[in-house]
Chain A
């Protein structure tokens, strides 16, 4: 009878996608949050009902239950699927341009902005003269 009850409870329990220990479950979620579902085109592992996403969610929880560290689990995922599984691209020689491109563009734009030639016409005027000039311009419009 007890065995039957246990079997029944197990059958009703959520799929192995949720760990009972909240701390472990939080770790699992933190890992799967950053994973991409490779078969679903643009969705995360947490946001997909696909079999692949479910398998990955279960895999991560199994490894946590087995006592692996987060880093070991990520490494296992990397070995199995490659960097493409991670939503956040790792810094590699061929992703340097991705990570530092915006910084580079900002630097170039800032230099260009700083070196921009000052306008010749009104540059030598004082504020008051310039304001007067503008008033005149406005009147002639």
Chain B
């Protein structure tokens, strides 16, 4: 019954979404306050109904109702409850329902803000029209091609189970976080369309958009980090980024989003770069949809083996074309109307941000080119060597300038003073690079340069608050007081840039300086890993809630590590459950393979500095949060009456 009600709710939500979009558009064209209010009400109702429908799906999954096809195909009665629930978005239909519910929920925010008089009702109506059309397209896709509530008769006795690899806390949270980011950009997109519609893209517009752009970018950062963390410890070889098509699909909107959060600042502060900011606002959401298309259509082979369907992919492609094409056509018509440039000198904050945007957009282009090239030219692979080289070369200038950008004033910066402030950081970075190249003498020249770059980003991030507070010029006491009084936005950029530096340092450590051994070890045998001995004491059989496993008992240093190889009867392939031992320098990483020739295959690795990848990613997200808080305050202060 709940399933039928939820299915009905889905259809109702689609109707309400269409109604909300139509009423809002009518109200916006006719300046009809009642129609706008009706549109807002319909948007709020559609959000509520979508959420109810999604809750209905969760109930079906939690109760293991195998008469529902999606449950039978993707869940199993022996799974822990949390993974039964997570399975609700662990497959195509459910994840599209989550997408729509989230999208409708986000649409409710501008509707509520307008209802409370916090934002201009006319602008909100335009936003809700554009957003309503986008939501309706996805809702129609869901209702007509991907019904999550389809029944099967007779119901199977048990389900086919969720892919065991996906039964993991980080991965349960990974899709909702990614979606929170992707879909956040739909609000940014809707603001862009609304601004173009009104012919008004200005500082006020940018102040409204900035919190959404930051919010979406933060969610995307966390979502990508969770996925990367999962790949690191679950797939069994310690890789955290493989330039896999699906990873690239999530990185594309992240890169454009990173460009957007910088350029929207220029628009908010200086009223400049309006056209480019608008284009980015449109294209970042396009990248999100393109990413979904690439993942869902199965056109690209990837480790993310989802249930794919080319026909569905074609529909998503149409949605992408309609949304992007429509918005870009509107942009082409309105571009002269919204053009606004404020002059700036070659050495200025603006110039640094232009360089950032240039690099991020170009990196996104190269990423897509490399990811999609094998679709058009057969017989080639585009793998990590291509992306490391090309994307690395593209972002290099931007990373070099990133620490100096905040040293420069808007409009006209003092280049000489900025360089003086850069000297300590550059010196430390050069020393670190030389140390890595000659003393540690591991890895390549490129690794040493990348390490130096990471240290430079980190040092620059530390320098900026010191410089702004005037700790050296104003005396320590007054300086510290000023330090505490620095605006949040300073800490935001410092945290984000410093986090990026740490990530780079961790990547060099875990990548270039890693030790990886793979050996067949008999019981009682041992491996020398990073100056310590790992001894295989025994291999035992254990039984989990829904799997059986071989568990190796490995004595490493003073500790017992127990990597497992799990066999899920409901799944087909065994999964590895690696064991980690963290020390000050990095992580020892031990994975158990198949029994082979008188022993078991043990893969033992040491990844120096690997924690800094995730600490750095977390710090970037924290920087985003600080920027988001600052942007919200700014938007609230200057909200148009």
Contact = CB atoms under 8 A, between A and B. Distances in A.
Interface of A: 11-15, 17-18, 34, 36, 40-44, 47, 49, 82-90, 92, 94-95, 97-99, 101-102, 105-106, 109-110, 113, 116, 118-119, 122-123, 127, 130, 134, 141
A89 B520 contact: no
Given A122-B342, A130-B343, A15 B597 contact: yes
A111 to B, nearest CB: 12
A14 B383 contact: no
A88 B598 contact: no
Contacts of A47: 237, 239, 242
B392 to A, nearest CB: 12
Nearest to A134: B342
Contacts of A87: 381-386
Nearest to A34: B385
A14 B522 CA distance: 10
A89 B381 contact: yes
Nearest to A12: B598
20 contacts: A18-B518, A41-B302, A41-B303, A42-B301, A42-B303, A47-B239, A47-B242, A85-B381, A87-B381, A87-B385, A88-B383, A97-B369, A98-B373, A98-B377, A98-B382, A98-B386, A102-B369, A102-B394, A106-B358, A119-B342
Nearest to A11: B598
Given A83-B380, A84-B380, A105-B365, A15 B386 contact: no
A76 to B, nearest CB: 17
Contact of B386 (A88, A109, A113, A127): A88
Contacts of B413: none
B340 interface: yes
Interface in B362-394: 362, 365-366, 369-370, 373, 377-386, 389-390, 394
A40 B305 CA distance: 11
Contacts of B373: 89, 95, 97-98
A42 B370 contact: no
B181 interface: no
Question: 4 closest A-B pairs (Cβ-Cβ)?
Answer: A87-B383, A88-B385, A119-B341, A102-B366
B239 A102 contact: no
B88 to A, nearest CB: 26
Most buried by B among A34, A49, A141: A49
Contacts of A18: 518-519
Given A15-B597, A84-B380, 7 more contacts: A12-B599, A34-B383, A42-B242, A43-B303, A84-B379, A94-B380, A116-B341
Contact of A49 (B242, B381, B593, B597): B593
B380 A41 contact: no
Contacts of A83: 379-381
Nearest to A125: B343
Contacts of B362: 102, 105-106, 109
B596 A15 contact: yes
A118 B343 contact: yes
Contacts of A84: 378-381
Nearest to A8: B598
A85 B455 CA distance: 36
Contact of A82 (B379, B519, B596): B379
A93 B144 CA distance: 43
Contact of A12 (B236, B239, B520, B594): B520
B307 to A, nearest CB: 15
Contacts of A17: 518
Contacts of B520: 12-15
Interface in B573-619: 593-594, 596-599
B354 interface: yes
A86 B369 contact: no
B412 interface: yes
B207 to A, nearest CB: 11
Given A12-B597, A41-B303, A89 B343 contact: no
A71 B383 CA distance: 20
A129 to B, nearest CB: 11
Contact of A89 (B340, B341, B382): B382
Q: How many B residues are at the interface, by size bracket? A: 35 or more
Contact of A42 (B244, B361, B380, B412): B244
Most buried by B among A17, A43, A118, A123: A43
B406 interface: no
Contact of A94 (B245, B377, B597): B377
A128 to B, nearest CB: 11
Contacts of B383: 34, 36, 44, 86-88
Contacts of B305: 41
A116 B339 CA distance: 11
Contacts of B366: 101-102, 105
B638 interface: yes
Given A87-B385, A119-B340, A98 B369 contact: yes
Given A86-B381, A88-B385, A89-B386, A127 B412 contact: yes
Nearest to A89: B380
Nearest to B519: A14
Contacts of A92: 380
A113 B354 contact: yes
A141 to B, nearest CB: 7
Nearest to A102: B366
Nearest to A40: B303
Contacts of A94: 377, 380
Nearest to A86: B381
A98 B369 CA distance: 7
A85 B373 CA distance: 15
A95 B380 contact: yes
Contacts of B382: 87, 89, 98
Given A119-B340, A141-B638, A12 B369 contact: no
A12 B522 contact: yes
A124 to B, nearest CB: 10
Contacts of B597: 11-12, 15
A22 to B, nearest CB: 13
A118 B339 CA distance: 11
A126 to B, nearest CB: 11
A109 B596 CA distance: 56
Nearest to B640: A141
Contact of A113 (B358, B390, B394, B522): B358
A55 to B, nearest CB: 15
A73 to B, nearest CB: 17
